[in-house]
Structure 1
Amino acid sequence: MNRSRKKHSNYSYSKLADREDFTDEQFQLPPTKIPWKAICLATFLCCVGFVLLLIGSLIITGHIDSQYSDRMWSLIVLGVIMFLPGFYHLRIAYYAFRNFPGYSFDDIPEFE
């Protein structure tokens, strides 16, 4: 015996009126805003990270004087930390600009 379900006959239901309140503009996506600040930051990170990686690798190979060899690994680690996110966001921006399927400027975080 299930007593938790009670029938309420005091409610009256009515069908809603058929209305056409929809417009075609509701279902269109707004134009995508290009996040220029984020792209500039990604470019900066990519360039500085590349330069740090280059200097670190030149120290390893001996093209730069060995008196700076104590800075080698810190340059390489910092270069990787800066280069990877910069390159990743620049790649997304490039593919979004070229209209590749699956890529959009909405995938890049904006800075307000």
Structure 2
Amino acid sequence: MSRRRGKDYENVDYIKLTSNDNGFVDAQFAHPPPKIPWKAVTLATMLFVAGSSLLIIGSLIVSGKIDSKYADRMWPMIILGILMFIPGAYHVRIAYYAFRQVPGYSFDDIPEFD
């Protein structure tokens, strides 16, 4: 027992613990920096651009600016353009607002690929 009573333990300062410990630590409420899902944002951007292109080309065929011999491709282009444009525009909008740190938008709202 005499070995444990060294000079190292004589100058130790003890602090009395508070009696009203609620079990929470301030560090558990700190938010980690947001992780940007680059693959999902890239896919959303590609869907947005491709959908916009297909919608524009389909609209040009409908309006007659593109030759009428391509009229059989009009409705498939418009339908595919709509199917690609809507989710692409939605997720690009969320990514833009999350990047600008608008309240209510975060990168957690965008699905992430593994």
TM range (shorter): 0.7 to 0.9
Partner of 1:10: none
Q: What is the alpha-carbon distance in structure 1 between the residues aligned to residue 29 and residue 105 of structure 2?
A: 20
Q: Secondary structure at the match of 1:100?
A: coil
Q: What is the alpha-carbon distance in structure 1 between the residues aligned to residue 28 and residue 100 of structure 2?
A: 26
TM score, norm. by length of structure 2: 0.78
Q: CA deviation at 1:22?
A: 3.6
Partner of 2:78: 76
Partner of 2:44: 42
Q: How does 1:66-105 map to 2 (within 5 A)?
A: 66-105=68-107
Letter in 2 for 1:27: F
Q: CA deviation at 1:77?
A: 0.4
Q: Secondary structure at the match of 2:65?
A: coil
Q: Secondary structure at the match of 2:113?
A: coil
- Over the matched positions of the two proteins, sequence identity in percent amounts to 64
Q: What is the alpha-carbon distance in structure 2 between the residues aligned to residue 75 and residue 107 of structure 1?
A: 29
Equivalent residues, number: 96
Q: What is the alpha-carbon distance in structure 2 between the residues aligned to residue 106 and residue 60 of structure 1?
A: 39
Q: What is the alpha-carbon distance in structure 2 between the residues aligned to residue 18 and residue 101 of structure 1?
A: 34
Q: CA deviation at 1:30?
A: 1.8
Q: CA deviation at 1:20?
A: 6.4
Q: Is 1:23 aligned with 2:25?
A: yes
Unaligned runs of 5+ in 1: 1-16
Q: What is the alpha-carbon distance in structure 2 between the residues aligned to residue 65 and residue 20 of structure 1?
A: 74
Q: Secondary structure at the match of 1:82?
A: helix
Q: What is the alpha-carbon distance in structure 1 between the residues aligned to residue 106 and residue 22 of structure 2?
A: 33
